[in-house]
């Protein structure tokens, strides 16, 4: 359970927790507060050291550039230096400080949620546009066609696509180290020893064509769900939500948005799978397998299968995907 909060989310929305001029605050008392009364921090101040130091109720003089404005049950407010707070109040200051830190975090999250909900309708529209786009439909169709015609190749390429990794070929190399390790009894054996090592052929381009789980469509649906949840939380009222859960809601939207943008960028590059360079790499890469062999054609490439047949894979033409609306800039406080 969270501590009872000093402010509701509606109050927090407009609360000033960073106080510009602490000595101008209402109900300011210059006396030393009763240390046995639990303080509540209503704000903090940070002043540049080029200015005059701020007055402190504990020191009874102008001494600090960083500190707090606190209030107790008398309704009076006091300005106290950041190190004098714990000195004056001892343990009770720590809990006041925790509450204040939580409120500041919550205020940042509430403001971020408000920013998200300013643009969620527009963003939901743009998600629908991408989902229903001709470009995405063509990627789906091309992926399904490759998977069906050349499943073996598809399932070997897919993990490479998911990792954003390079294609490799297996190369036979002379293993001088192994030759040197030959036992002395074999001294007169000078036959070369070979081993195989994987060498990079180059990046697998157009990986977005092969990724099934967590593809553009999945990431857009996840973003849509995150926005719907955020809107629901706001409609129900966030006061009943813990700060941890509020953070999860906001973070989920932010992360889902950046994943969706990344997935759209990958999908836009899907036709690069059929670029000249990539098809050359696929041809070289496929030489190590018995079950299939890639051969360039005028329209894309053929995949020759071990059973003596070949399937034709037609290149995916250049495509366009609609733009995904922004989610505003993430606030610094999370
Ligand atoms: Zn002080």
pLDDT at 1 over 90: no
User: What's the pLDDT at 273?
Assistant: 97
Model pLDDT for residues 151-171, shown as the tens digit of each residue: 999 999 999 999 989 999 988
> How many CA atoms does the CB half-sphere of 259 hold within 13 Å?
19
User: What's the pLDDT at 5?
Assistant: 81
Distance 56 CA to ligand 1 centre (A): 5
Distance 14 CA to ligand 1 centre (A): 29
Whole-Å CA distances, 47 to 21, 78, 304: 9, 17, 73
pTM of this structure: 0.83
Question: What is the band of 331 on the pLDDT scale with cuts at 50, 70, 90?
Answer: very low
H-run or E-run covering 172: strand 166-174
Distance 20 CA to ligand 1 centre (A): 18
Distance 67 CA to ligand 1 centre (A): 9
**Taking a C-beta distance cutoff of 8 angstroms, is the pair 319, 130 a contact?**
no
Model pLDDT for residues 119-135, shown as the tens digit of each residue: 999 999 999 999 999 99
Q: What is the number of other CB atoms lying within 10 angstroms of the CB of residue 302? A: 18
pLDDT at 177 over 80: yes
Model pLDDT for residues 286-311, shown as the tens digit of each residue: 999 999 999 999 999 999 998 889 99
pLDDT at 333 over 70: no
User: What's the pLDDT at 334?
Assistant: 38
Give the pLDDT mean for 60-79: 97
Whole-Å CA distances, 226 to 120, 231, 243: 10, 9, 17
């Amino acid at each position: 359970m969270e501590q009872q909060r000093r402010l509701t989310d509606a109050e927090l929305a407009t609360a000033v927790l960073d106080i510009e001029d602490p000595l101008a605050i209402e109900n300011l008392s210059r006396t030393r507060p009763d240390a046995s009364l639990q303080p509540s921090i209503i704000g903090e101040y940070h002043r540049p050291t080029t200015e005059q130091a701020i007055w402190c109720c504990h020191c009874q003089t102008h001494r600090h550039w960083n500190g707090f404005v606190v209030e107790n049950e008398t309704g009076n407010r006091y300005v106290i230096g950041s190190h004098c707070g714990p000195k004056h109040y001892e343990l009770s200051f720590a809990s006041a400080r925790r509450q204040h830190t939580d409120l500041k975090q919550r205020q940042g999250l509430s403001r971020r949620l408000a920013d998200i909900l300013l643009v969620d309708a527009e963003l939901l529209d743009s998600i629908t546009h991408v989902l229903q786009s001709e470009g995405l439909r063509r990627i789906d169709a091309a992926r399904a066609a490759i998977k069906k015609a050349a499943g073996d190749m598809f399932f070997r390429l897919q993990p490479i696509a998911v990792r954003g990794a390079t294609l490799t070929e297996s190369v036979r190399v002379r293993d001088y180290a192994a030759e040197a390790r030959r036992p002395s009894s074999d001294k007169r054996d000078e036959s070369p020893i070979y081993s195989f090592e994987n060498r990079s052929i180059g990046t697998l381009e157009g990986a977005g064509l092969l990724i099934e789980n967590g593809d553009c469509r999945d990431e857009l649906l996840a973003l849509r769900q995150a926005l719907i949840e955020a809107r629901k939380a706001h409609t129900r009222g966030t006061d009943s939500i813990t700060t941890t859960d509020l953070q999860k809601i906001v973070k989920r939207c932010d992360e889902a948005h950046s994943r969706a943008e990344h997935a759209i960028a990958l999908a836009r590059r899907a036709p690069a799978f059929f670029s000249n360079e990539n098809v050359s790499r696929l041809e070289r890469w496929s030489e190590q397998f018995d079950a299939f062999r890639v051969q360039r054609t005028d329209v894309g490439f053929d995949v020759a299968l071990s059973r003596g047949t070949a399937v034709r894979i037609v290149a995916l033409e250049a495509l366009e995907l609609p733009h995904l609306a922004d989610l505003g800039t993430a606030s610094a406080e999370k």
